[in-house]
Amino acid sequence: MELNKISNDMMVKMGLMSKVLKSAAGDGMQFDVLYQSLLKAVSQNEDSQKLSDNIMSSTPGQNLQAMDMLIGQADYKNQYASENLSASASNIKGQELSNIKEVKPVTEDAKMKQIYASVNKYSKQYGVDPNFVLGIIKAESNFNPKDTSPVGAMGLMQLMPETASYLGVKNPYDIDDNIKGGVKYISQKIKQYNGSKEMALMAYNAGSGTMQRRGVSSTSDLYKMPSETRNYVPKVMGYYRDFGAKSI
């Protein structure tokens, strides 16, 4: 690892962030693995300064999500830096994006029409099945753009403040802005986990760091995740199948 890429100011912040990470992961091998990943992420991620500032000014729970974002994005960049991830070159299990079928709302409600239009737009842009995105929105907010969770997750796809900031979402309660950020994020998680929607959902709900700490390496390890995530994944996949059946 090229430590000379990390500024003195960043090294000071890394020392403080290590205390936050140690309090969550414990003082053992898990901490060592996560901290090394964090150092690697900082040295390779051009957005690390922005994310580290967010980490230092956030609550403990948000700190972990921000660090998970930093580590996850570094892994994502390392794995896919050599690939062309533009919409014209991306595939979904070998299927060209041009073959993705648009979803149509079953109601004339103006809000739902706007949601479906944004889902179609960004699903095609980022290479995600629009019915899968609808399943996430259904589970996260039940199509309420103004929804806010007790922990501060916002909008249709329930983006945490640090996640929204990283993704460039200026207004998480704006339908188009929220869906753009949410679809971009889930697309990164799908690629990070080699196309596995279930693994991507675990990461979307609980974070890649949580998966790593709990030794989750495949979909069969879902039982190792918190109860909320164990319920979340099959719920979204069920909605995904339901929306897919309606679109046939």
Residues taking part in catalysis: 140
DSSP per-residue string spanning 126-147: HT--HHHHHHHHHHHHTT-TT-
DSSP per-residue string spanning 174-226: SHHHHHHHHHHHHHHHHHHTTT-HHHHHHHHHH-HHHHHHTT--SGGGGGGS-
Question: Comparing C-alpha atoms, which of 85, 179, 163, 156 is closest to residue 126?
Answer: 85
Distance CA 188, CA 186 (A): 5
Helix (H) or strand (E) holding 244: helix 227-247
Provide the token pair at 157.
Answer: 């796809």
Distance from the first to the final alpha carbon of the chain: 50
